[in-house]
Amino acid sequence: MKQINIDPQKWQHLPGYRRNILLTGADLHSPGTRVQMVSMAPGDSISDHYHKTSYEVYCVLKGQCTLIVDGQEIILRPRTLITIEPGDIHQLHNHGHETFELLVFKTNSQPDDTLFDS
């Protein structure tokens, strides 16, 4: 067993969101696997992107966000679980008034796996 406490010093600030990597492939003895918390402030957006090889599972913890996957719009709310497959073009928009938080479980991730549409 391993208990993970979210370390406020480990937040990484990226365009439109911040993330805190909680577990890596080394922690899980499973290369290409990662668990991370993602946080988006009101008004933040993550632009269109896709992953060449990785699968993502989103588990919404707090707030509300619009997810668009291959043109299909989905409203994410707490206790929603979504899977993103390789090649799915997706974007996120926090149009709400509170911070949006989710856990992201990634599998089969490779270096340079994420590609943003220009």
Question: Which option is the CATH number for 10-110: 3.30.830.10, 3.40.630.30, 2.60.120.10, 1.25.40.10?
Answer: 2.60.120.10
Global pTM? 0.92
Whether residue 64 contacts residue 75, with contact meaning beta carbons closer than 8 Å, is answered with yes
**What percent of the chain shows pLDDT beyond 90?**
90
Q: What is the pLDDT of residue 52?
A: 95
Cα 11–Cα 46–Cα 112 angle in degrees, nearest 5: 75
Structural domain boundaries of the chain? 10-110
More confident residue, 14 or 117: 14
Amino acid at 38: V
Tell me the pLDDT tens digit for each residue of 19-70: 999 999 999 999 999 999 999 999 999 999 999 999 999 999 999 999 999 9
Q: What is the pLDDT of residue 96?
A: 92
CA–CA distance, 14 with 3 (Å, rounded to integer): 26
Counting Cα atoms < 13 Å in the Cβ hemisphere of 76 gives 27
- Cβ atoms within 10 Å, residue 112: 6
Q: 19 - beta bridge partners?
A: 12, 38
More confident residue, 63 or 2: 63
Name the pLDDT band for 2 (thresholds 50, 70, 90). Answer: confident
Q: What is the pLDDT of residue 77?
A: 97
